[in-house]
Structure 1
Amino acid sequence: MTLDPDGAPAPEGGSSSLARQASRALGWSVLNAFVSKFGTLAIGIALARLLGPEAFGTYAVAMVALLAVLSFNELGVSLAIVRWRGDPLRIVPTVTTVSVSTSLVLFVAAYLVTPTYTAAMGDPEATSVVRLMLVGLVVNSLVASPAALMQRRFRQKQRMLVDQVNVWVGAVLSLLLAVAGLGAMSLAIGRVVGSVLGALLFIWFEPAGMRFGFDRALLRPLLRFGLPLAGSSSIVFAAGYADQIVAGSLLGPTELGFYVLAFNLASWPVTMFSQPLRAVAPAAFARLQDDTAALTGSMRWVVGVLAAATFPVCFLLAGAAGPVIRLVYGAQWAPAASALAWLGVFAALRIVFELVYDYLVVLRRTRGIFGIQVVWLVALVPALVLGARGWGIAGVAAAQVVVAMVVVLPLYLVQLARTGLPAASVLGRLVVPFLGGAAVWLGAVLASRTVGGDLAAAASSAVLAGATAAALVLRDRTVVARLREMRRQATDLPVKV
């Protein structure tokens, strides 16, 4: 048995075209990210000012532990629901059983080793926070199938409601508990309560995803598909969070708090642009996977427009790091600027990498992805250690940029070339946005050094970044025509996932 059974699947969108479904889903996804990020910005600022770097560092220690086990939580099988060509409900019971049983085993193991982990991170007092956060592991496994069904069906409107309940309830509860003096535990409690309520909504919208069962004949193909992704996700986690592990273990929880705040701030463009696209792109790419010309054309166009919209914002954060952090979070967080100056550039690379990752997953290049993550991790760890010991959190952030540019980007380009998408065509779409971002960085640096006051420096830099992004996106007069052509191609193809 193969993961993709033969036979043409029935279109899930009825008479609606893929383009219309994906466009609506992407619109809701972008709105979701916008409201989630900016709607809770004030609460995040208040929490940072109330708790300070040390408490944030303790919470970061707990979050790293949770994300570590989440990366391997359901063995990667839930994504099979998104790209299964037949009726996905056939595999849901087996996927749900695998997800939940795996998470329970991981929960027990992680709970037992938590004291050892927190001691290694230099923050033994974080043990209780870590153990509470691990509850999210079980919650995540329960909604793996409902969430995958929702993604497959482009139900981003409902996903927005789920995410908003999760974010708002968690953030408001954390703020109230922080005012009451619970410190880092307030963040953990808020996150767990928000995730539980979000899980209940997932199950409400997609009750079919909560069916348990086990079809032994499906287990092998599901694991053959999922295990490479789970292994890759674990390596992705290690590569993505090695910086925080190194910062915490070598520099202590307070410096980790500074670094995490800078990383979170640099992640704003990723959250606003990359994550909404990732909620839609895999299913849309999957339906075009049998038409190479349409698929590669769509990928080239998307990567170019995404870079044009995001690179100026990322380079703005790098160039105006000091004024932005002091203005938003206060003078006590000023040391975080040394890391943000590098992490803003790294955010631009992350946006491109995440899009390419999803594209390669759809084309079943899971071994190639896994190989890239392994090489990334092997190159990154010594660079992070060297950077941390020599230059503190600034060195950790700089190591991220150097390894991403010198090692990871070329490897991803090689993998794209093997799928029929030449590296030159991808780089060609990135050159102009990169130059535009570099101009914004230079302008922001000059504004930070010459314009009086943090507000004036940040505002002038933001205006420059906004104007540059708009010019880059609109410079291609064929954008509308290309959108129509992509819509026509998608409409003419059979609807496949």
Structure 2
Amino acid sequence: MSVVNDEVRAESSLSARAGRALGWSFLSTAVSKLSTLAIGVVLARLLGPAEFGTFAVATVALLAVLSFNELGVSLAIVRWPDDPRRIIPTVTTISVAASALIAVAGFLAAPWFCAVMGAPDAVPVVRVLGISVVVSGLVAGPVAMLQREFHQKKKMVADQAAAWTTALTSMACAVGGLGAMSLAVGQLAGSVLGAILFIRFAPGTVRFGYDREIAGRLLRFGLPLAGSSIVVFAVTQIDKVVVGAALGPVPLGFYVLATNLSNWPASMFALPVRSVAPALLARLQGDPPAMRRTFLSTAGLLAAITLPACVLLAAGAGPIVGLVYGAEWQPAAAVLLWVGLLAALKIMFELVYDYFVVLANTRVVFVVQVVWLVALLPALYLGARHWGPAGAGAASLLVALLVVAPIYLWELRRTGIGVLPLGRRLGLPLLAGLVVGVGCAVAARFVHVDLLAALASGFFTAAVLAALLWRMRDSLRALRAT
């Protein structure tokens, strides 16, 4: 009996820690995204589409190298079955060495990349942003350890300090006339301050060393993920590459603004859950039924809180872009219509991705991303060439819906998560999204003042979301009890 009681207490403690971590993660993300969204609006208005497009070119380059710079080894800290401190020196050495090599390669390749993207002026911006790659590699261990130990409160402080430093530095530089470089300088300043705090909050996690046996295990785990991350980057960023190369930096600026806005629900609601879900699922590896129940509950929660917001952005794109960014950014509304809906799909895909990573089924992760990329490239090219940035957004949505979703559903079924159980979790959120879409489309069509149309759409969406969460309250309780 005492053994059973100990197990119950252990599960209760794990659930409580995960719940607190989720709460802190959500608070951190909410404060960060609301504040940086407002500052981002100011920067977009200060810089305009041309300068913003130049920075978008540099950001694509940065995200490319950050997707695989530490070779995937830091994630091993989160799911390592033994004491993770034993592997930290080897993780740090691999991460920093790989990041430094990649940063040098990026510095040398910057002129070629910017020429392909039609933005030769972006070369110095790319090179300044490249320094952030080494910073990211240095703190891979501390960030992973904070995630493993559910220390989201400390992570919140570091994230907030980095976000505010980035935003305020960028604003000051933009006002001073630095143009696109202002965003790069701000990003680097925020990365450095965040790194200092991460290292301070996770002492002993930046130590260099090398153990050949551990390195072999880390690379066997991490390299498939790094390879997958390259493909993931290509899948998530190739649209920007195609739009920039085919249409130039100004249309790219419109496209990036729309995609950034469409990612707001994911950043606001999905990222806090994803920062906790892998660690929680990893602790349940010994209980597959509980792991599957947690996945389904998390999927339902994510759909409930993100789908209405994504549909709001898509159906109310015109008034929202006009109100927030101004008339010169109005072409971005046609893109937001498509990428807003795509964001809802990607949120679910990312949860499935995390699930298969925890299962160590990197084959599924890699194969799905490759198939996605192969189908996406020709669709993007045709869409961009014939219908501009909005055509690229529509092509991305169609490929995700018709190619990627069926594959993920098939692979989930093979792990014991069938279409019907998943459908039962997602049914109400899908219905709520449809209702929101109709309401927002009506407001956009018949209310001709952007402020009034946006307010009407926002209040209607909030009402639908509140009703949905009330209806799903039993499912939410079940997730808390997992």
> Which TM-score bucket, shorter chain as reference?
over 0.9
Is 2:457 the partner of 1:461? Answer: yes
SS for the counterpart of 1:74 is: coil
1:447 alignment partner in structure 2: 443
Note the C-alpha offset of 1:466: 1.0
1:4 alignment partner in structure 2: none
Tell me, yes or no, if the aligned pair for 2:311 and 2:437 is still in contact at 8 Å. Answer: yes
1:179 alignment partner in structure 2: 175
Q: Determine which structure has greater relative contact order: mean sequence separation of CA pairs < 8 Å that are 6+ residues apart, divided by chain length.
A: 1
Tell me, yes or no, if the aligned pair for 1:343 and 1:401 is still in contact at 8 Å. Answer: yes
Question: Which of 118, 128, 153 lines up with 1:132 in the alignment?
Answer: 128
1:437 alignment partner in structure 2: 433
2:3 alignment partner in structure 1: none
Q: Deviations over 1:457-494 (max 9, x none)?
A: 111111111111122222135235524642xxxxxxxx
Note the C-alpha offset of 1:310: 1.2
CA distance in 1, matches of 2:197, 2:185: 19
Note the C-alpha offset of 1:72: 1.4
CA distance in 2, matches of 1:108, 1:191: 18
Give runs of aligned pairs for residues 8-87 of structure 1, distance below 5 A.
Answer: 17-87=13-83
CA distance in 1, matches of 2:42, 2:364: 43
SS for the counterpart of 1:210 is: coil
SS for the counterpart of 2:426 is: helix
Is 2:372 the partner of 1:376? Answer: yes
CA distance in 2, matches of 1:14, 1:465: 39
Note the C-alpha offset of 1:364: 1.0
2:276 alignment partner in structure 1: 280
CA distance in 1, matches of 2:267, 2:472: 25
Give runs of aligned pairs for residues 17-416 of structure 1, distance below 5 A.
Answer: 17-416=13-412
* CA distance 1:413–1:480, change in 2 (3 Å): closer
> After alignment, is 13-22 or 430-439 more displaced?
13-22
> After alignment, is 443-452 or 117-126 more displaced?
443-452
SS for the counterpart of 2:363 is: helix
1:493 alignment partner in structure 2: none
- TM-align CA RMSD: 1.5
**Partner amino acid, structure 2, of 1:396:** A
Q: Deviations over 1:427-450 (max 9, x none)?
A: 332232122212211211111110
CA distance in 2, matches of 1:285, 1:212: 29
CA distance in 2, matches of 1:483, 1:444: 30
Point out where structure 2 has 5 or more consecutive residues left out of the alignment.
1-6
**Partner amino acid, structure 2, of 1:362:** V
Q: Deviations over 1:85-106 (max 9, x none)?
A: 1100000000000001111111
SS for the counterpart of 1:134 is: helix
Tell me, yes or no, if the aligned pair for 2:308 and 2:429 is still in contact at 8 Å. Answer: yes
Tell me, yes or no, if the aligned pair for 2:321 and 2:333 is still in contact at 8 Å. Answer: yes
TM-score (norm: length of structure 1): 0.94
SS for the counterpart of 2:286 is: coil
**Partner amino acid, structure 1, of 2:439:** G
CA distance in 2, matches of 1:436, 1:205: 41
Tell me, yes or no, if the aligned pair for 1:309 and 1:470 is still in contact at 8 Å. Answer: no
2:4 alignment partner in structure 1: none
CA distance in 2, matches of 1:427, 1:101: 45
CA distance in 1, matches of 2:423, 2:185: 44
CA distance in 2, matches of 1:484, 1:220: 38
SS for the counterpart of 1:40 is: helix
Point out where structure 1 has 5 or more consecutive residues left out of the alignment.
1-10, 487-497
Identity %: 56
Q: Which runs of 4+ in 1 moved over 3 A?
A: 13-16
CA distance in 2, matches of 1:480, 1:356: 19
* CA distance 1:35–1:481, change in 2 (3 Å): closer
SS for the counterpart of 1:212 is: coil
Tell me, yes or no, if the aligned pair for 2:15 and 2:481 is still in contact at 8 Å. Answer: no
SS for the counterpart of 1:46 is: helix
Tell me, yes or no, if the aligned pair for 2:297 and 2:476 is still in contact at 8 Å. Answer: no
CA distance in 2, matches of 1:21, 1:128: 44
Tell me, yes or no, if the aligned pair for 1:274 and 1:354 is still in contact at 8 Å. Answer: no
Q: Deviations over 1:151-174 (max 9, x none)?
A: 001010010111111110110011
**Partner amino acid, structure 1, of 2:151:** R
Q: Deviations over 1:136-165 (max 9, x none)?
A: 100000000011001001010010111111
**Partner amino acid, structure 2, of 1:275:** L
Note the C-alpha offset of 1:188: 0.2
* CA distance 1:481–1:176, change in 2 (3 Å): closer
SS for the counterpart of 1:73 is: coil
> After alignment, is 258-267 or 412-421 more displaced?
412-421
Note the C-alpha offset of 1:452: 3.1
Tell me, yes or no, if the aligned pair for 2:294 and 2:479 is still in contact at 8 Å. Answer: no
Tell me, yes or no, if the aligned pair for 2:43 and 2:174 is still in contact at 8 Å. Answer: yes
CA distance in 2, matches of 1:117, 1:481: 50
> After alignment, is 190-199 or 437-446 more displaced?
437-446
